Amino acid sequence: MGFLQSLGTYVSLLSLCSSGVADPFNGTKPQSYGMLFFPAFDSIDVFGPLEILQFLGYMHKIDVAFIAETLDPVSSLPLTENKFNSHTHTSLTPTHTIHTAPELDVLIVVGGPGMRSNSLNATIQFIKEKTPKVKQLITVCTGSGLAARSGVLDGKKATTHKTSWPGIIKFGPNTTWLPDKRWVEDDSGSPPIWSSSGVSSGMDLMLHFVETYYTLENATWIGKMMEYVRHTDPNDDPFAINGTTLLRV
Amino acid sequence: MGFLQSLGTYVSLLSLCSSGVADPFNGTKPQSYGMLFFPAFDSIDVFGPLEILQFLGYMHKIDVAFIAETLDPVSSLPLTENKFNSHTHTSLTPTHTIHTAPELDVLIVVGGPGMRSNSLNATIQFIKEKTPKVKQLITVCTGSGLAARSGVLDGKKATTHKTSWPGIIKFGPNTTWLPDKRWVEDDSGSPPIWSSSGVSSGMDLMLHFVETYYTLENATWIGKMMEYVRHTDPNDDPFAINGTTLLRV
């Protein structure tokens, strides 16, 4: 355990050094996270990274603020896609509004079909105002489209959900969209902005984040607890539009 | 699309025929699901399979009843493991109690640290009484331990979360526990009982269930929407206790 911990720290530092990126957390471990969501969010966009933070919270002090426009429960039900009148969706209750959100080390913007809504002006304004105040911005799935709508992805490189690609990239005409990445790390400015591809890829980004800013051992243990086989190479995307498509069934 | 649909139906039928298993749904598609949970459930145990049912619900009529002992919101917070006083957990609000649960095609019993509680007698009794009335029982992660506590796994084969293995198998002394499986299908009785390994493996079981009882095309589309690379072989478990352990980091 001691050896693995040392190895983890070494590899994390090596990873930071080799990438030439300054540590936005100045050697401390990020503690305060904000999970920003909205009506018709995607469940795993939230609960994939959250499960990782839940396990991480047994090893470090981690606080997640669940942030939405009001404190009312927010349903994941899409407004337009439910032609069979299925009942499969749940609600998530915010702990904070966009007006009461605490200081954050990391802001996570999730995706889901609702990110296209014309009624998210206050949420988009929150992303615009909050991003310069956090140490790291993470987007999951089409959350990068929502971030793009706020302008914070202008001049940045990013990726998004592959099935939604053509519609999402229109939200960021000044963003360099990279279609063949499992996730993208833009460390060119402050804060760094990391964007994942669709849904499950948010877990890969988050585990990589744990490996980078906590320890390799933490990331490995969480992956093992979740019995999740990580994709560790951001450049190897099995769902890339111009690369392979999923034929495994 | 027509070809893939036909292929999907063919492969599904072939799969059923080759396994020699009678279709518990008599050629109809399962519609009503019950998700049984309890304090300190695991988030992805619920939301992994649920995300799949949410996507499935755009193609078929799917209803999920969220079932707990009372209608009060149920927290995923473990009672004993939070020594850093982290705040990372959420609550899920039931739609039904164990006394008002509707008729179900499929009962899903999830896991999580709370399944070990001594205060789950009513939940355990519900599993015992409901199981003979459903067409399929699915357990996720340590949910198989909870099912075992009710006796419904007596004489059955099953698997569970690998890290929790020694403690969980004690709940089912009359169960044949298989340690090297991503998931296990026991089709020896009515209802069939399928049990997954830990956390993420519930998504593989659920996608295999979709492939088997809906269509291959549905399962492939959902995997693509979730950008989730399925494990399609239940006998290939990267987290098996006596097999390989996760070295990918």
Question: pLDDT digit string (tens) for A180-205?
Answer: 999 999 999 999 999 999 999 999 99
Interface test with A, best of B84, B88, B228 (most A CBs within 10 A): B88
Interface residue of A55, A88, A224 to substitute, partner B, most B CBs within 10 Å: A88
What tokens were used for A41?
A: 């969010």
**B88 token code pair:** 């990372």
Question: Smallest Cβ distance to A62: which of B59, B86, B228?
Answer: B86
Separation CA B53–CA A238 (nearest Å): 23
Calpha distance B34→B46 (Å, rounded) = 11
Number of A–B residue contacts, CB under 8 Å: 179
Q: Which is higher by pLDDT, B73 or B15?
A: B73
- Of A62, A90, A93, Cβ closest to residue B66: A90
Closest-CA residue of A relative to B239 is A227
CA distances to A249, B96, B181, B219 from B13, in Å: 15, 34, 23, 15
Who among A64, A230, A239 is closest to B227 (CB)? A239
A88-114 burial code (b ≥16 CB/10 A, e <16): bbbebebbbebeebeebbbbbbbbbbb
Interface contact flag, B84 A42, Cβ < 8 Å: no
Which residue in B84, B88, B201 is closest to A50 by CB distance? Answer: B88
* Closest A-chain CA to B245: A224
Taking each helix axis from N to C terminus, what angle separates A216-225 and A201-213, rounded to the nearest 10 degrees? 150
CB-CB neighbors (< 8 A) of B92 in chain A? 90
Structure confidence at residue B82 (pLDDT)? 80
In chain B the domains, ranked by start, together with CATH numbers, are 29-77+87-225 (3.40.50.880)
Q: How far apart are CA B156 and CA B144, in angstroms?
A: 11
Nearest to B151 by CA among B190, B125, B115: B125
Q: Which of A61-75, A100-114, B232-246 has the lowest mean pLDDT?
A: B232-246
Q: Which two tokens stand for residue A22?
A: 């300054």
Tell me the per-residue pLDDT of B28-45, one tens digit each, with 9 for 90 and over: 999 999 999 999 999 999
Give the chain A residue nearest B62 (alpha carbons): A86
For the cut 90, the answer to whether the pLDDT of residue B79 exceeds it is: no
- State the smallest CA–CA distance between residue B61 and chain A in angstroms: 5
Q: How many CA atoms lie within 13 A of B83 on its CB side?
A: 4
Phi and psi for B197 in degrees, rounded to 5? -75, -150
User: A201 vs B227: CB contact, 8 Å cut-off?
Assistant: yes
Helices (DSSP H) in chain A: which residue ranges?
A: 2-19, 43-56, 121-130, 143-150, 165-169, 201-213, 216-225
- Say which of B73, B211, B223 has its CB closest to residue A246: B223
The answer to whether A43 contacts B54, with C-beta atoms less than 8 Å apart, is: yes
What is the band of A8 on the pLDDT scale with cuts at 50, 70, 90? very low
Looking at every residue in chain A, the average pLDDT score rounds to: 91
- Give the distance, in angstroms, between the CA of residue A6 and the centroid of all CA atoms in the same chain: 27
Is A49 a residue whose pLDDT tops 90? yes
Choose from A66, A86, A207 for mutation: most chain B CBs within 10 A. Answer: A86
Contact B224 A246 (CB under 8 A): yes
- Given phi > 0 = left and psi -120 to 50 = alpha, else beta, which region is A215? beta
Give chain A's largest Cα–Cα span: 55
Position A246 pLDDT exceeds 50: no
Using CB atoms, pick whichever of B58, B82, B232 lies closest to residue A82. Answer: B58
Q: Enumerate the residues of chain A whose CB falls inside 8 A of the CB of residue B61.
A: 84-86
Residues from chain B that touch A58, judged by Cβ atoms under 8 A, are 81-84, 86
Q: Identify the CA nearest to A63 among candidates A92, A23, A34, A101.
A: A34
How many C-beta neighbours within 10 Å does residue A70 have? 11
pLDDT band at A79 (very low <50, low <70, confident <90, very high): confident
Distance CA B138, CA B110 (A): 8
The tens digit of pLDDT for each residue in A117-161 reads 999 999 999 999 999 999 999 999 999 999 999 999 999 999 999
Q: Are B58 and A84 a contacting pair at CB < 8 A? A: yes
Minimal Cα–Cα distance from B13 to chain A, Å? 15
* Distance separating alpha carbons of residues A74 and A98, to the nearest angstrom: 14
Selected residue with higher pLDDT from B177 and B17: B177
Which pLDDT tens digit goes with each residue over B97-144?
Answer: 999 999 999 999 999 999 999 999 999 999 999 999 999 999 999 999
Beta bridge partners of B176: B157
